[in-house]
Amino acid sequence: MAVDFRFIIIGRGMMGAAAARHLSSMADGIALIGPPEPGERKTHHGVFASHYDEARITRTFDGNRAWGSFAARALGRYRAIEAQSGISFFSEVGCLFAGPPPKDEQDFLRRALTVSRTLGSDIEIVAPAELARRFSYLKVSPDFSGYFERNRAGHINPRALVRAQARLAEQGGVSLIEATATSVRDAGSHVEVTAGDRSYNAERVLVAAGAFSNFHALLPRPVELRVMARTVAFYEIGEREMAVFGDMPSTIVLGDRDEDHIYILPPVRYPDGKTYLKLGGDTETVSFNRLEDAGAWFRSDGSAAERDHLSRIALQLMPELAGCPVTSAPCLANFTPTGYPYVGFTQLPRVAVLTGGNFVAAKSSDELGRLGAVLLKDGQLGDEDFGRELTPVFV
C-alpha cells in the first residue's frame, strides 16, 4: 500500500528534532511527531520533556571517548545551526571543572585529559592557588585544581535549540505534526503510528521519546532504562550578585565519587524576566515506571529535601548567594545499563529507537540526532559512529 511518509520520527525533543533536521538532508517524505510545550506545567496531564528550560552545560571535556566525540561533533555545528535558523542558543562562556587531585589513572579527570588530547580539545589546567584567584566566585578545598575549557564550551538554551532544529527540519521539507504518539504497530509492509486522533503509515519509524519511550505502546519490547527524578535549584540573582557571578563559566565541581558532582549554570534570564543561577546534582534515587508517576513528578516542584541539600552545597561553594530567593523545579534523567545512548533497531526491522541520555546528552543532541537519521536511512551505524556501543538493551 502507499504510505503517508517514508520516515516518521516520534519525539520533538532535542534528539528527535535533530534527527529530523539531519534526515531532511538525506531523504524526503519525513514527519516529526510531538506535542508542543504545555502552557501550564502544573495542570498538564500529557507527556513532558526535560528540555523545557533555558540552560544546559556544553563541553567536550569527558572521561569517555564516545561521549566526548559526540559533544565535539555537535559543538562543531552549533554556529551553523544558529546562522541557518536565525535562532541563537549557544553562549560560549567556557566550562570549568574543579576537583581534588586524581586518585589513580581511572580517575575521571585523568581519563578526561586523555580523551581531550585525542579530540584536540584545548584544556587549561589551573593550579589550586590560581584557581582561587581567577575564579573567585567559587570556594573549594585548597587542594582542588581547575580544568578550564575556554573555547567551544559554555551553555546552550535547549528550548531555543529545539526550535532551531524544528525550523530547519520544516524548511527541509519535514512535516511537523503537533500530537502525542500513543502506539506504533507493525503492519508487515509498513508501520502504523497513532498520534492524536489520527493514524499515519511509514516505511520506517524512529522512536526518540526520551524518558517517555517506554510509557506508551511505542516499542515492541521496552528498552532497559532507569527513569530517575532530578531536582534543580534556582537562585534569583540581582545586581549585587551579577557583579560576582555575571562573568562566570559553566562550572562542575567534583566530589569523591563520580555521582557526587555538582553542576552550576551561570546567571541566565528566564521567560519570567528574572535572572537565575541554576545548580543540580546526580544523587537522587527515586525512579518512575509509569506515565502517571512521571507526570505527577513534572507537575511538582521537585524534592524539597534535595532543594535544601543543593542550597547547603551552593552556599558552601558560593557564599555570596546568601539571601537570594531559592526555588526548585523537577527534571527527569534516563540511564542505560551500558552508559551509552541507544541508537539501534528493535525486534521489528522497521522500528528503531533513539534514547538514553544518561543525564549528559543535551550538549550532544545534534550528533545523536544525526546518528538516528543515519540509522533510519542506512539501516546501521559504523564503527566510526560507535555503532556497537550504542546497541539497545531490551527488557
Residues 276 and 369 in one domain: no
Q: What is the pLDDT of residue 168?
A: 99
Give residue 1's pLDDT.
60
Residue 301 confidence (pLDDT): 96
Categorize the per-residue pLDDT at 355 as very low, low, confident or very high, splitting at 50, 70 and 90. Answer: very high
Assigned domain for 390 exists: no
Is the domain of 166 the same as that of 187? yes
The answer to whether residues 238 and 346 belong to one domain is no
Q: Indicate if 136 and 174 belong to the same structural domain.
A: no
How far apart CA 352 and CA 372 sit, in angstroms, is: 8
> Is the per-residue pLDDT at 258 higher than 90?
no
Same domain assignment for residues 108 and 37: no
Select from 244, 246, 249, 269 the least CA-distant residue to 93.
249
Q: Supply the pLDDT for residue 382.
A: 94
Q: How many folded domains does the chain comprise?
A: 2
Query: Is residue 46 predicted with pLDDT exceeding 90?
Result: no
Reduced to 3 states (helix: H, G, I; strand: E, B; else coil), residue 115 is helix
Beta-bridged to residue 124, according to DSSP, are 148
* Closest-CA residue to 228 (of 240, 210, 246, 216): 210
Identify whether 19 is part of a domain.
yes
Of 332, 333, 331, 315, nearest to 323 (Cα)? 315
Pairing of strands 30-33, 5-10: parallel
pLDDT at 12: 97
290 and 163 inside one domain:
no
Residues 134 and 254 in one domain: yes
Q: Tell me: do 121 and 21 sit in the same domain.
A: no
Report the pLDDT value the prediction gives residue 356, as an integer from 0 to 100: 98
Count Cα neighbours of 95 within 13 Å in the Cβ-side half-sphere.
Answer: 24
Cα(289)–Cα(293) distance, rounded to whole angstroms?
Answer: 7
Residue 209 belongs to a domain with what CATH number? 3.50.50.60
73 in a domain, yes or no? no
Class of residue 75 by CB neighbours under 10 A (exposed 0-12, middle 13-18, buried 19+): buried
Residue 39 is predicted with a pLDDT of: 84
Q: Helices in 196-301 by DSSP H: which ranges?
A: 239-245, 291-298
Which domain range does residue 216 map to?
5-52+158-225+337-385
Examine the domain organization and report whether 256 and 324 are in the same domain. yes
37 CB burial (10 A radius; 0-12, 13-18, 19+): middle
User: Based on the domain organization, do 251 and 110 belong to the same domain?
Assistant: yes
C-alpha cell recorded at residue 85: 535558523
Q: What is the CATH number of the domain that holds 281?
A: 3.30.9.10
Say what the pTM is: 0.96
- pLDDT at residue 259, rounded to an integer: 66
> What are the beta bridge partners of residue 330?
231
257 pLDDT above the threshold of 80: no
Q: Does residue 357 have a pLDDT over 70?
A: yes
CB-based contacts of 276, cutoff 8 Å, min separation 6: 234, 235, 236, 237, 267, 268, 270
Per residue in 137-163, pLDDT (tens digit) is 999 999 999 999 999 999 999 999 999
Q: What is the grid cell recorded at 151?
A: 573555547
CA distance 389 to 69: 13
